[in-house]
């Protein structure tokens, strides 16, 4: 959420930012919020004047009563009563205006970084760099569901009976390698100095609306019926919510955390749920990294964080590339974002396995997360990045390590988590 003071002083900058995100339907919101803000401040000023006048008259009444001028004192009391009625009206009006201002401000997209490429959608994202040589073996790489089937590692039929489409059972060595990757991702980030955390897997609505836009919430989140609770779509939601309403000591910044959680997503949209495989599903597991820092440090942390994901996948012998998200592909709260994509030797193209974002102070402003230092109190910046989201990471691992005979090589980094095995299948 943008600072109302910034919008008030720079309405054309905010409108141009909306145009860059190809959301012209929101241009009218800027003028609407400015008008409501003016009405709110006008109501507040009148209310403040009435309170000051009330205090002044109250002192006068005391003086008149002391002098025995009861009749004049009663006239003054009538003035106070009349003012009190108007003050009550103004307080209601001010609250209504502010509520509406906040509602609209939460729909206006955050100001994107000047380095973000301008484009309408993900088809206009820009490749930054490739890491590792993408290899296409001489044999035909099977579909990941078939690789898993060879090692009796996937049962979607049973999951369909218990839970419906979009769910799965991982079995045997497949389940073990999945857990090994998650454990390795956890230790990888701990070695980078991040604090490990397991957060709540359900959060309240006032946390959901603090970390994401309404449109994202509708498309992603599962609500618990009859309760003010939602299943998390990523542990970032819980991790940022942990600091809701807090003033974090400046000396404790940056706060760097890595969190594990299952994640639950509706996956509403044209892409749909994958019938055979496990690329797009309703439930998956994830190792995340989250940072709270000073504003001047956020871009440095952004660059460190996506590089950690690249390093993680390269340690598993998986070629990757980074892709800069264009303006139209950025969620409303994001300032800048890039995707890490893994090489698929079967499809002979890259696919997304992680995403790194800096959100400026948007989430902190919505949730009231501030820090206090020598120069006063201000909002922190928040960042998040995927270390590993599995089963997508599992798919990348299988395709890049499968052999022609159906066995799967275990990279050196994962062998301690697999009982020393160098191959499965």
Query: Over 80: is that where the pLDDT of 391 sits?
Result: yes
Per-residue model confidence as pLDDT tens digits over 183-235: 999 999 999 999 999 999 999 999 999 998 777 777 789 999 999 999 999 99
Out of 59-68, 158-167, 169-178, 289-298, pick the least confident.
59-68
Query: Over 70: is that where the pLDDT of 64 sits?
Result: no
Distances (CA, A) of 298 to 50, 335, 344, 395: 44, 11, 32, 32
User: Between vectors from CA 360 to CA 312 and to CA 44, what angle results, nearest 5°?
Assistant: 155
Domain range 4-105, its CATH number among 1.10.8.50, 3.30.450.80, 1.10.287.40, 1.10.600.10: 1.10.287.40
H or E stretch including 99? helix 70-105
pLDDT at 69: 74
Within this chain, domains 4-105 and 122-424 share the same CATH topology:
no
Per-residue model confidence as pLDDT tens digits over 252-301: 999 999 999 999 999 765 466 667 889 989 999 999 999 999 999 999 99
360: nearest Cα among 240, 258, 242, 246:
240
Query: Over 70: is that where the pLDDT of 61 sits?
Result: no
pLDDT at 272: 60
pLDDT at 123: 94
Q: Is 309 helix (H, G, I), strand (E, B) or coil?
A: helix
Q: Is 140 helix (H, G, I), strand (E, B) or coil?
A: coil
Out of 220-224, 256-260, 303-307, 326-330, pick the least confident.
220-224
Bridge partners for 65 per DSSP: none
DSSP letter at 116? Answer: S
CATH architecture observed for domain 122-424: 2-Layer Sandwich (3.30)
Q: Where are the domains of the chain?
A: 4-105, 122-424
pLDDT at 194: 98
Q: Percent of the chain having pLDDT more than 90?
A: 80
Query: Over 80: is that where the pLDDT of 359 sits?
Result: yes
Q: Percent of the chain having pLDDT more than 70?
A: 94
Rounded to two decimals, what is the model's pTM?
0.89
344: nearest Cα among 136, 107, 119:
136
For residues 322 and 306, is the Cβ–Cβ distance under 8 A? Answer: yes
Higher pLDDT, 404 or 58: 404
Mean pLDDT of the chain: 92
Distances (CA, A) of 268 to 236, 327, 393: 20, 22, 22
For residues 358 and 335, is the Cβ–Cβ distance under 8 A? Answer: yes
Confidence band for 74, pLDDT divided at 50, 70 and 90: low
DSSP 170-191: E-HHHHHHHHHHHHHHHHHHHH
For residues 421 and 326, is the Cβ–Cβ distance under 8 A? Answer: no
DSSP 227-276: SS-EE-SSHHHHHHHTTTT-EEEGGGPSEEEEEEEEEE----STT---SS
């Amino acid at each position: 959420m943008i600072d109302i003071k910034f919008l008030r002083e720079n309405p054309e900058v905010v409108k141009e930012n909306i145009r860059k995100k190809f959301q012209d339907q929101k241009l009218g919101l800027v003028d609407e919020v400015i008008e409501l803000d003016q009405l709110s401040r006008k109501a507040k000023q009148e209310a403040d004047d009435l309170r000051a006048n009330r205090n002044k008259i109250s002192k006068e009444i005391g003086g008149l009563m002391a002098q025995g001028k009861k009749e004049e004192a009663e006239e003054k009391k009538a003035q106070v009563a009349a003012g009190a009625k108007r003050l009550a009206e103004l307080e209601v009006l001010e609250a209504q205006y502010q509520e509406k201002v906040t509602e609209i401000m939460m729909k206006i997209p955050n100001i994107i970084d000047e380095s973000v490429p301008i484009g309408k959608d993900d088809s206009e994202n820009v490749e930054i760099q490739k890491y590792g040589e993408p290899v296409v073996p001489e044999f035909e790489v099977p579909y990941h569901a078939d690789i898993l089937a060879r090692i009796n590692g996937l049962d979607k039929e049973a999951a369909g009976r218990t839970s419906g489409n979009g769910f799965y059972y991982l079995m045997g060595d497949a389940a073990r390698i999945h857990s090994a990757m998650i454990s390795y991702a956890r230790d990888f980030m701990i070695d980078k100095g991040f604090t490990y955390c397991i957060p709540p897997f359900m959060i309240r609505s006032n946390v959901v609306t603090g970390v994401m836009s309404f449109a994202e919430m509708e498309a992603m989140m599962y609500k618990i019926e009859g309760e003010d609770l939602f299943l998390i779509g990523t542990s970032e939601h819980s991790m940022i919510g942990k600091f809701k309403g807090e003033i974090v000591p400046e000396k404790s910044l940056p706060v760097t955390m890595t969190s594990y959680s299952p994640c639950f997503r509706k996956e509403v949209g044209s892409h749909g749920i994958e019938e055979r495989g496990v690329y797009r599903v309703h439930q998956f597991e994830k190792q995340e990294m989250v940072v709270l820092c000073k504003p001047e440090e956020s871009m440095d942390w952004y660059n460190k964080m996506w590089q950690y994901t690249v390093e993680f996948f390269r340690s598993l012998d998986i070629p990757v590339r980074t892709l800069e998200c264009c303006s139209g592909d950025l969620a409303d709260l994001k300032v800048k974002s890039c995707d890490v994509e893994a090489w698929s030797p079967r499809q002979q193209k890259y696919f997304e396995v992680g995403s790194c974002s800096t959100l400026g102070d948007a989430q902190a402003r919505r949730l009231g997360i501030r820090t206090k230092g020598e120069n006063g109190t201000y909002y922190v910046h928040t960042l998040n990045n995927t270390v590993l989201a599995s089963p997508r990471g599992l798919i990348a691992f299988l395709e890049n390590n499968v052999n022609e005979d159906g066995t799967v090589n275990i990279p050196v980094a994962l062998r301690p988590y697999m009982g020393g095995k160098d191959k499965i299948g």
